[in-house]
Amino acid sequence: MQTAEIRRRFLAHFEAAGHTVVPSAPLLLEDPNLLFVNAGMVPFKPYFLGQETPPYGTATSVQKCVRTLDIEEVGKTTRHGTFFQMNGNFSFGQYFKEGAITHAWRLVTGHVDDGGLGFDAEKVWVTVLEGDHESRELWRSVAGLPDERIQDRDLNDNYWHMGVPGPGGPCSEIYIDRGPEFGPDGGPVVDEDRFLEIWNLVFMQEEITNVRAKDQFDVVGPLPSQNIDTGMGLERVAYLLQGKQNLYETDEVFPVIERASQLTGRTYGANHVDDVRFRVVADHVRSGLMLMGDGVTPGNEARGYVLRRLLRRAVRSMRLLGYEDPALPELLPVSLDRMKASYPELEADFPRIEQVAYAEEDAFRSTLGKGTQIFDVAAQKVKADGGTGLSGEAAFTLHDTYGFPIDLTLEMAQEQGLSVDADGFRALMAEQKARAKADAKAKKGVHADTHAYRAALDANGPTDWQAYTTLSTESR
Ligand code: ATP
Ligand code: MG
Ligand code: MG
Ligand code: MG
């Protein structure tokens, strides 16, 4: 079943049950806490918080999401994309646990001829919050699940909140057992992909405050209404229903891998290291396309930097696969071709998008051209001296003189089995910043001291840590 068909079925299922179909919000919303929309509920936040009255009692959507926190997982697990689409159904004070569980069960196990997704009921496992007897009982009575396949999890896994005072509640997650060839029996295990998490049902029921950790907070009291917020990973369902091994092999993503394989002359599936690179290429090209489509341009501030990092990683991964020519002009149109059915606006906007992307690749290629040799010499020297790490000074020189962002140095060092003295690097960056400040003071009154600006930008902008620390926590 094609991804677009799964999306259609999801929306149709909930529309038939009276939900208003709401189009995806853009990836960028005016929310200071959020770099990008990272869950389907984000556009509905004011309704859940009771700040605004929803114009409908129930809604359904397929929301574009970006989770940069998952960047390191891409290609290594079977299930994480930096961009993905979250199918959701939402109830604002209408139905609660029973409705959410009944809807989910019918869609997941409903026969394909009746509009369902056709999963084998025997392969479905769920988790509930320990002590949530009501949900356990519903999974028994609505779905007929045996106790073994209804597993208790603690607050850490099965309680949802936003990390700040606001709404919260227990959740129940749905997993599909991919079979014994993918791992041991016994139910979902964190970070193993035999039991694949496909859907999270959140029972938003109370207001919480004083959040100290994922599992440490105080409950103020019940919300005025009991709400439902669910999120189903569209690509995850697609990978299962298409009989694939991971989400990078689904119909919306895999054609980029195929093109990359043609260009590099390497076969996908031949070895693990290359396979991860192929998946990174396909994932990042698609995320780049979707971000640029929503108006993000590469830059050194938080959002632009995430895009820059994704595009650069795609380009570098192609190089590591042996392809040195400009890669994005070959790959981006392939991704567009897969995504335009669901997002037709991308096509009209593509002339702008490709211009932005190719300019970024050109700039990166010249950075790489200048710095790579310097990096290689430094790395060889460390190894010849019997060392295991690149000095902070070397990383600083690469940054300061050759424009090498620290994340690139870290990544290249890692590929050579070397560490980087990141503290040393940061100390040198701080020193430079202080010097620039002193300079600026001395020159007070001189107009447009771009040197100081540039130094401050260097110090604060394009570092890996910046990109990570400014990210909000994931929503579930
Ligand atoms: P995981 O534990 O696999 O990282 P999660 O618990 O972080 O997933 P939720 O926050 O519960 O995910 O999001 C709801 C659903 O969205 C998940 O059940 C999953 O199907 C999907 N999803 C989450 N993160 C990703 C991702 N990076 N790529 C693709 N789908 C995702
Ligand atoms: Mg996650
Ligand atoms: Mg999870
Ligand atoms: Mg989850």
Q: Separation of 203 CA from ligand 3 center, angstroms?
A: 16
pLDDT of residue 191: 81
Same domain for 237 and 257, yes or no, is no
pLDDT at 408: 86
The pLDDT of residue 444 is 60
Here the CATH number for the domain that contains residue 187 is 3.30.930.10
Closest ligand to residue 83's CA = 1
Which residue's CA is the closest to the ligand 1 atom numbered 8?
Answer: 197
Q: Does residue 427 sit in the same domain as residue 342?
A: no
Show the domain range for 64: 3-241
Whether residue 443 is contained in a domain is answered as: yes
pLDDT at residue 442 in the model: 75
Look at residues 340, 372, 404 and tell me which one is the last residue of a structural domain.
372
Predicted local confidence at residue 49, as pLDDT: 83
Residue 261 shares a structural domain with residue 301: yes
Closest atom of ligand 1 to 199 CA is: 18
pTM to 2 decimal places: 0.88
Distance 318 CA to ligand 3 centre (A): 30
Domain check: are 116 and 26 in the same one? yes
Q: Which residues of the chain have pLDDT under 70?
A: 443-476
List pocket residues of ligand 1, CB cut-off 6 Å.
Answer: 67, 70, 79-81, 84, 86, 197-200, 231-233, 235-236, 474, 476
Q: Are residues 186 and 94 in the same domain?
A: yes
Whether residues 194 and 45 share a domain: the answer is yes
Same domain, 100 and 184: yes
Q: How far is the CA of 37 from the centre of ligand 2 (A)?
A: 14
Same domain, 232 and 346: no
Say whether both 185 and 91 belong to one domain: yes
- The answer as to whether 381 is a domain residue is no
Domain count, the chain: 3
3-class DSSP string for the chain? CCHHHHHHHHHHHHHHCCCEECCCCCCCCCCCCCCCCCCCCHHHHHHHCCCCCCCCCEEEEEEEEECHHHHHHCCCCCCCCCEEEEEEEEEECCCCHHHHHHHHHHHHHCCHHHCCCCCCHHHEEEEEECCCHHHHHHHHHHHCCCHHHEEEECHHHHEEECCCCEEEEEEEEEEEECCHHHCCCCCCCCCCCCEEEEEEEEEEEEEEEEEEECCEEEEEEEEEEEEEEEEEEHHHHHHHHCCCCCHHHCCCCHHHHHHHHHHHCCCCCCCHHHHHHHHHHHHHHHHHHHHHHCCCCCCCCHHHHHHHHHHHHHHHHHHHCCCCCCCHHHHHHHHHHHHCCCCCHHHHCHHHHHHHHHHHHHHHHHHHHHHHHHHHHHHHHHHHCCCCEECHHHHHHHHHHHCCCHHHHHHHHHHCCCEECHHHHHHHHHHHHHHHHHHHHHCCCCCCCHHHHHHHHHHHCCCHHHHHHCCCCCCC
**392 and 368 both lie in a single domain:** no
pLDDT value for 216: 95
